[in-house]
Amino acid sequence: MSASHKTSSAQVFRLMLYRRPMHPELFNLHARRTERHGDYEVESWITNYGHVVRFQYDDQLLSEVIVDRGDHLPEHGLVHAIPCIGEKDYERDADDAGIGYVTTIQTESLTENLYIATMREMEDFARETGAISHKFAAPNGTPCLTVVDTQKYRKEFHVQSYHMLGSNTTILRTQSIFEITEA
């Protein structure tokens, strides 16, 4: 999705969960990190106004995508799509994949002063934790920031994302857990 969208707002963002990998050519990538821990591998990407996290365990995988609109993404392998409006929760049991998934989504409109103060705090947080991040400007010139922070555990991978959307001084937060459920 190009940064030329003049009407990016939290109302058109979606979280999309896939049972397949996503192709990098579908996105403008600004940051990328691969992490291996025990039996799983995770690849995280920061895209224009969003992110992709691919969690793979053995030959099974799930991909979490936060995207503005998402009309350009394939339907093949799509498990669930959630509009990122207000507060939402979603849980997916492991079934035959051996990977459980749970997420919470929260959007909040901030005053301009609170938005700028939160932006500074999130930049500091990204530096202190080593999270991947990307700062850019909205079409109206307001700064935007995406931060993806992760924690690795033996059978779980936790992802916190923060999308600071300058066009309307909104922050979109997600907290997701990928869990290996096989013995």
1 occurs within a structural domain: no
Domain count across the chain: 1
pLDDT digits (tens, 9 = 90+) for 132-181: 999 999 888 889 999 999 999 999 999 999 999 988 899 999 999 999 98
Tell me what percent of the chain is helix, strand and coil, each rounded to the nearest 5.
15, 55, 30
3 occurs within a structural domain: no
126 occurs within a structural domain: yes
Q: What is the domain extent for residue 172?
A: 10-180
4 occurs within a structural domain: no
pTM summary value: 0.90
pLDDT digits (tens, 9 = 90+) for 18-75: 999 999 999 999 999 999 999 999 999 999 889 999 999 988 999 999 998 888 899 9
2 occurs within a structural domain: no
5 occurs within a structural domain: no
